């Protein structure tokens, strides 16, 4: 057929694996492993010497270390991964892309750059990636050192970590950390749909993956010396195959402790002919698609992956093929459900299909080099297709928690390239109906699906997706140290079982009986304690005076202080003899500096009371609160003042929603209340700059009721309190109710926002508190 010279093709593939203990082991950095693979790919096409000046774009996948702070190792890294690779190859690209995280990204990059090559934007593109997690962990275990830090100049399109839609506060709060519990929930949901017992389903997973081990054993690039395994080898739990998360023993999940790299060289038919690249090197992209599944809790059936199935079917339709026409498959195989939900349930391929489901050996056996696995799948697929010209291969690449999927149909058979926009597919996916979520369920419910997370082979905690009596979905996990419920979950089949759930500040907790829950988390009548750790509480007749007592950190609040204040406010609201409350800060410097950023930067657990910052900002009250602002109020300090009914300020006081200066936002009601309490445009200026409002300006704007001389803010608050105490407390209470109904500020301020998850998965969110704790200027990335 006559081909346009702009038709994109793959002309070179390369892989490299460094085995611990091998005679040629060098302990290479990740970028050096990628360079070895890239050299092989260039030589596979023609030669590095002849192609290095032709490559005008490089794109790399993201290492695990650059994907999430949890993966950091102590040996340093490149500041510019694409250019670290390019400089070693002698390549000077006009464009460098550092792709976001996701196992789908190798295939996505092929799809993207094929279209950009077809559009004439580039002549030749190098796509590469690697991991050296095995070496890093070995060095740490041996107490050895290495220095892989590198600063490389060169413009790069850094697409960021890409955690949006994956790392959600609600999910993390309920024990969904890392991939095993997410996939465990989905796998057990699929088991429920298929009607299999736990034993039957475990055998099914072993039967699915045993053939993968044979492919891995024959693959020279496997991450270790793999031997073929029987299903029983994979599913029998023991010292070398401990449980990770129900229903997975270790040998059924991806192995990321690897040193592996792969690379691809893409160009056009015209450039390949110009350079003399042999046509038996050419592989064409016949169909492709990129989609994103909805977030876990928004899926109707947690045991299916319909977005991925749509992507595969769309790619097949573009190629004019059916699954029967495909000779080779590689379905992403981090966990069994990643294969079974797409290939078996979605495309109808028999479980024992002789074509098999992998050309590499899969992530648990060949190796799972982070986001780069499917680069190996594409490279292996190209080699298979070259060995059998005219046949077709399908690569399906999964990212996240069955969250993103990219697919490609390949063949040596020439075909015109037709760019494909997956927007119509994505619009359909985004339009699917979703279950109603109950953020804070209480009472009896049933288990929709579950998992038990293990630590060093021992059960640690359980997570359930549940349904309330009216069908709303929720997440809950066991209370810390509740080993009894963790043990009880394995008494019979947990699916569909009745549980009792209770919402707490730290998330939803479940047990199998109400009595057990009451023993773990007893419902206590709101009452004052004899003493407090972070506050001083003084009762003066019908008046309650609360003093935040952390002057050593400018009265900033961490989770424990917030929770303590919540209990004080609960007791205030419940006590009929208390009619008015005043809140102030200890010392003369600060009312409250807001969130304790040093605590935030420490990485310790974070949570917020359901009643908001300081136990106050999300609370609907029927009793008045007066804020005596005796110094500066920053961030959450200003938000507590905004949530108060009356504000008296020391003339030295200042107010600032300063969160933007440290990579946060005023999420405790400040963004809602300040534009309502002062002119909006002035509020927006102060919100977006973090610039303080001084006491005199605050008085003019109506943010405070009165200003007092230095050190007299509390006295001013007491004067107003006495005036309120002199009138009818019933009238005051009813007046508060009417005003609350009219304004509904508290409910608006406490409404969860998806934008907070966008913030909390950004690099700037991590950088702000870290820079504050290290007493340096933040380096903002805007990603």
Residues serving a catalytic function are: 639, 659
How far is Cα 440 from Cα 508, in angstroms, rounded to an integer? 7
Give the DSSP H or E segment for 546. strand 543-548
As a whole number of angstroms, the distance between CA 770 and CA 783 comes to 16
What are the structure tokens assigned to 172, written together?
């993390």
In sequence order, what E strands does 133-225 have? 157-158
Round to whole Å and give the CA distance between 783 and 772. 19
DSSP state string for 341-369: IIIITTT---TT-TT-S-SS--TTTT---
Are the C-beta atoms of 655 and 673 separated by less than 8 Å? Answer: no
- What are the residues whose beta carbons fall under 8 Å from the beta carbon of 353, sequence distance 6 or more? none
Nearest to 176 by CA among 487, 461, 409: 461
Q: Is 699 helix (H, G, I), strand (E, B) or coil?
A: helix
What are the residues whose beta carbons fall under 8 Å from the beta carbon of 177, sequence distance 6 or more? Answer: none
Interatomic CA distance for residues 263 and 405, integer angstroms: 20
- Pair of tokens at residue 229: 């395994």
Alpha helix (H) ranges present in 704-774?
713-725, 729-743, 745-750, 754-760, 763-773
Q: What span, in angstroms and rounded, lies between the C-alpha atoms of 599 and 606?
A: 9
Q: Provide the sign of the torsion angle of the four alpha carbons 474, 475, 481, 484, taken in this order.
A: positive
Q: Which helix (H) or strand (E) element contains residue 60?
A: strand 57-60
Question: With the C-alpha atoms ordered 130, 136, 138, 139, is the resulting torsion angle positive or negative?
Answer: positive
Q: Give the list of residues 6+ apart from residue 582 with CB closer than 8 angstroms, or none.
A: 543, 544, 545, 546, 625, 626, 627, 628, 714, 717, 718, 721
Could you tell me the two tokens for 265? 């060289």
- H or E segment and range at residue 194: helix 179-194
């Amino acid at each position: 057929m006559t081909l346009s010279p702009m038709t994109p093709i793959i002309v070179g593939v390369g892989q490299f694996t460094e085995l611990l203990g091998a005679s040629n082991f060098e302990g290479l950095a990740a970028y050096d492993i990628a360079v070895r693979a890239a050299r092989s790919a260039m030589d596979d096409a023609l030669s590095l010497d002849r192609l290095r000046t032709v490559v005008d774009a490089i794109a790399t996948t993201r290492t695990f270390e650059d994907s999430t702070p949890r993966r950091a190792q102590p040996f340093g890294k490149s500041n510019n991964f694409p250019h670290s690779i390019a400089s070693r190859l002698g390549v000077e690209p006009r464009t460098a892309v550092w792709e976001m995280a996701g196992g789908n990204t190798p295939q996505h990059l092929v799809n993207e750059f094929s279209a950009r090559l077809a559009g004439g934007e580039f002549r030749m593109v190098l796509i590469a990636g690697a991991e050296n997690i095995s070496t890093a962990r070995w060095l740490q275990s041996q107490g050895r050192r290495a220095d892989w830090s590198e600063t490389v100049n060169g413009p790069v399109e850094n697409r960021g970590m890409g955690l949006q839609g994956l790392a959600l506060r609600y999910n993390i709060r309920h024990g969904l950390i890392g991939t095993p519990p997410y996939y465990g929930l989905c796998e057990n949901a699929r088991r429920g749909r298929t009607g299999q017992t736990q034993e039957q389903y475990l055998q099914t997973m072993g039967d699915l993956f045993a053939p993968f081990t044979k492919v891995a054993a024959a693959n020279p690039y496997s991450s270790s010396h793999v031997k073929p395994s029987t299903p029983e080898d994979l599913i029998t739990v023991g010292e070398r195959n401990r449980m990770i998360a129900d229903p997975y023993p270790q040998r059924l999940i991806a192995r990321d402790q690897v040193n592996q790299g792969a690379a691809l060289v893409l160009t056009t038919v015209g450039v390949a002919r110009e350079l003399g690249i042999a046509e038996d090197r050419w592989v064409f992209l016949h169909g492709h698609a990129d989609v994103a599944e909805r977030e876990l809790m928004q899926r109707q059936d947690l045991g299916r992956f319909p977005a991925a199935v749509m992507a595969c079917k769309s790619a097949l339709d573009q190629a004019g093929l059916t699954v029967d026409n495909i000779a080779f498959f590689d379905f992403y195989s981090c966990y069994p459900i990643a294969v079974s939900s797409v290939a078996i349930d979605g495309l109808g391929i028999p479980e024992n299909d002789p074509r098999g489901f992998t050309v590499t050996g899969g992530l648990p056996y060949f190796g799972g080099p982070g986001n780069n696995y499917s680069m190996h799948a594409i490279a292996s697929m190209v080699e298979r297709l070259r060995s059998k010209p005219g046949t077709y291969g399908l690569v399906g690449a999964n990212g996240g928690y069955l969250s993103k999927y990219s697919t490609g149909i390949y063949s040596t058979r020439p075909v015109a390239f037709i760019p494909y926009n997956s927007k119509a597919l994505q619009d359909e996916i985004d339009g699917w109906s979703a279950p109603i979520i109950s953020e804070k369920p209480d009472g009896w419910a049933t288990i929709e699906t579950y998992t038990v997370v293990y630590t060093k082979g021992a059960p640690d905690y359980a997570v359930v997706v549940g349904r309330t009596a009216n069908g709303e979905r929720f997440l809950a996990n066991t209370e810390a140290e509740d080993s009894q419920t963790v043990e009880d979950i394995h008494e019979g089949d947990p699916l569909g079982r009745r549980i009792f759930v209770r919402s707490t500040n730290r998330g939803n907790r479940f047990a199998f009986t109400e009595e057990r829950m009451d023993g773990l988390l007893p419902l206590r009548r709101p009452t004052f304690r004899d003493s407090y750790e972070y506050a001083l509480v003084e009762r003066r007749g019908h008046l309650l005076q609360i003093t935040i007592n952390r002057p050593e950190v400018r009265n900033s609040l961490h989770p424990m202080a917030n929770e303590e204040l919540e209990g004080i406010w609960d007791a205030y609201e419940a006590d009929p003899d208390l009619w008015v409350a005043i809140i102030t800060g200890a010392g003369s410097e600060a009312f409250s500096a807001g969130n304790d950023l040093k605590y935030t930067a420490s990485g310790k657990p974070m949570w917020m009371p359901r009643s908001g910052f300081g136990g106050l900002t999300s609370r609907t009250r029927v009793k008045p609160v007066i804020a005596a602002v005796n110094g500066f109020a920053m961030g959450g300090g200003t938000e507590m003042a905004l949530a108060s009914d009356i504000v008296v300020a020391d003339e030295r006081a200042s107010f600032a929603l300063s969160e933007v200066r440290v990579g946060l936002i005023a999420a405790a009601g400040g963004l809602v209340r300040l534009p309502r309490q002062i002119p909006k445009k002035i509020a927006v200026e102060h919100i977006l700059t973090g610039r303080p409002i001084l006491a005199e300006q605050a008085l003019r704007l109506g943010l405070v009721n009165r200003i007092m001389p230095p050190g007299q803010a509390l006295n001013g608050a007491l004067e107003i309190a006495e005036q309120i105490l002199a009138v009818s407390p019933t009238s005051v209470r009813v007046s508060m109710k009417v005003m609350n109904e009219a304004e509904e500020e508290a409910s608006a301020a406490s409404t969860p926002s998806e934008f907070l998850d966008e913030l909390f998965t950004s690099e700037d969110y991590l950088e702000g508190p870290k820079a504050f704790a290290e007493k340096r200027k933040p380096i903002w990335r805007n990603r």
